[in-house]
Structure 1
Amino acid sequence: MQVQNDTKPYDTINVTPMLDLAYVLLVVFILMTTASVQGLSITLPKPSNTPSSEHHELLVVQITAEGALLLNGAALTAQEIEQRLAAAKAADPKITVAIKGDGQASYEPVVKVIDLCNRLAVDMALVTSRIGT
């Protein structure tokens, strides 16, 4: 009885199981990333083609890098701004407050101004600028 000794090495590797595993991992990764992404639901205003003939007052509240509050360029405390906004709201219920925070300012004073506008039921807008301007 003679035993055959095949010492010939394999010259190919079966990569099908490895590719199956890679595809399964890819599908799991895609499903997990799309399932974990949650967005904010924002209702954007729709533009109208007719210009409004109504003109309402616009107040600008600025927050400096040091956290100081300015109302139309005049430095005021948060209580004084609240009083002025309440008085302006009584005079014109459709006033708008533009909130302009300095890029180096902490976020807390900006949030306080937003909360103040929400509390007074005043329309507000956040002023942004392009980087480098």
Structure 2
Amino acid sequence: MKVQAENQPYDEINITPMLDLAYVLLIIFIIMTTASVQGIKVNLPKASSSPSLAKPSTKAVTIAEDGQIFLDTYPVTLAELETRLQQMKAVTPDFPVVIKGDAHVQYDKVVEVLELLGRLDITQLGLVTQRLVK
């Protein structure tokens, strides 16, 4: 370390105090940002469970490996499926339906169910698949 004479100017700048200030400002901004994101606590009202506001429950049509058709968990024939879905559509015209077809089921069974849903004019339709795990 050099000894500085009294009348000579400094030729190096000590940046340690500036870095300390920058770190303190950074910490203040982080704390203030997380504090403002939390928002204001309010007591929210409870929603009523009236059937007019309730979203219709999804119906699941499952086609097993042997070709057996299930509505939710109850075994049905294709004619019974059509009758039950017509009744449900009369009560709730826009209810969603998902089709779960076994990977080894004959393709024509799935097509029959899709044609049935098309005849009944059920537009909210989904096909359930399994996520491919790598």
Q: Give me the whole-angstrom Cα distance separating, in 2, the residues matched to 1:131 and 1:68.
A: 25
Shift of 1:124: 1.2
Shift of 1:131: 3.8
Pair 1:129-2:130 in alignment:
yes
Alignment of 1:36-115 (within 5 A): 55-115=55-115
- Describe the superposition over 1:60-104 as per-residue Cα deviations: whole angstroms up to 9, x where unpaired: 000001010000011110000000000000000011110010001
RMSD of aligned alpha carbons: 1.4
| Identity, % of aligned positions | 35
For structure 1, the 5+ residue unaligned runs are 1-52
Q: Give me the whole-angstrom Cα distance separating, in 2, the residues matched to 1:89 and 1:76.
A: 17
Alignment of 1:26-37 (within 5 A): none
Q: Give me the whole-angstrom Cα distance separating, in 2, the residues matched to 1:84 and 1:131.
A: 33
Shift of 1:57: 2.5
Q: Give me the whole-angstrom Cα distance separating, in 2, the residues matched to 1:96 and 1:118.
A: 13
Q: Give me the whole-angstrom Cα distance separating, in 2, the residues matched to 1:83 and 1:57.
A: 18
Q: Which runs of 4+ in 1 moved over 3 A?
A: none
Aligned partner of 1:17 in structure 2 is none
Aligned partner of 1:24 in structure 2 is none
Q: Give me the whole-angstrom Cα distance separating, in 2, the residues matched to 1:107 and 1:131.
A: 21
Q: Give me the whole-angstrom Cα distance separating, in 1, the residues matched to 2:106 and 2:132.
A: 18
Give the length in aligned residue pairs. 80
What TM-score does the superposition give when structure 1 sets the normalisation length? 0.57
Q: Give me the whole-angstrom Cα distance separating, in 2, the residues matched to 1:131 and 1:62.
A: 20
Q: Greater Rg, structure 1 or structure 2? A: 2
Q: Give me the whole-angstrom Cα distance separating, in 2, the residues matched to 1:101 and 1:58.
A: 16
